[in-house]
Amino acid sequence: MAASHDNHLQGRVSVITGASSGNGAATAQALAARGARVVLAARNADKLNTLITEIRDAGGTATARVTDVTRLGDVEGLMDFAAGKYGPVDHLVNNAGLMLFSKWPDRGIDDWDKMIDTNLGGYLHAISAVLPGMTARRSGHILNLSSVAGIRVGHASGVYSATKFFICGITDSLRQEVSITHGIQVSMISPGVIDTGWADKVSNAEGKQIAQDLNESAIHPDRVADAVVYALAQPADITVNDIVIHPTHQDW
């Protein structure tokens, strides 16, 4: 579906948070392959550099800046860097996130705080940093990666799901306030279980087992990248509001 809209991606400046692996890396490669100039943001410099090399070797245009999305100054610096390198930011792909499972009685407060700082604070920081330029130009596209966990709460995913419900809320609010008034496209993609290595990052023992079992039916990040490309490839007078994708055989 995206192929018919490739001209709308050519030369666009696309900032992708959480771009060093998983959905972010797949999205960066997919957008660059269709002519976008991608700016990668993550905390791992080595992974970013490896991905930049892969994209450039494939004929794409890419650069990167080490960024901790929990720090507003980092994210504002990222947007300034992108604009200085390629020009005004056309797309924000808000992707950086943590998915850490635990049950309420385990009181996984450290994991809760990490998810709140990244999944909530990181998204707000990126939106805040990119909005001034987009509103001034009356153009741009903000795409938030949510999750089916933001539609229905899963086993041991209470706080994670809450952060994704939050993303649903801010996305809807953005649409109401900036789409009509400022001409900014706002989209949200809610994937099911994607094989991004997330299960390996769960520290809670029981939560890790639940995550690993769930991940057995996961689909590849390229599927998420395809959905992102489709949403961002639309002309300025069309907005894809919400896309939900999940494994066919999974009862999410």
How many C-beta neighbours within 10 Å does residue 8 have?
Answer: 20
Q: Is 160 an annotated catalytic residue?
A: yes
Strand order in the sheet with 185-191: 61-66, 37-42, 13-17, 91-94, 141-145, 185-191, 242-245
Q: Which amino acid, one-letter code, is at 143?
A: L
- Bridge partners, residue 141, by sequence: 91, 185
Q: Which two tokens stand for residue 213?
A: 């079992």
Quick one: tokens of 76?
């504002």
Q: Where are the beta strands (DSSP E) in the chain?
A: 13-17, 37-42, 61-66, 91-94, 141-145, 185-191, 242-245
Length of the chain: 252
Q: How far apart are CA 119 and CA 129, in angstroms?
A: 16
What residue type is 25 in one-letter code?
A
Indicate which residue of 86, 123, 160, 230 is catalytic: 160
Please give the Cα distance from 110 to 112 (Å, whole number).
5
Cβ neighbours of 97 (radius 10 Å): 26
Distance CA 4, CA 153 (A): 36
Looking at the annotation, which residues are catalytic? 160
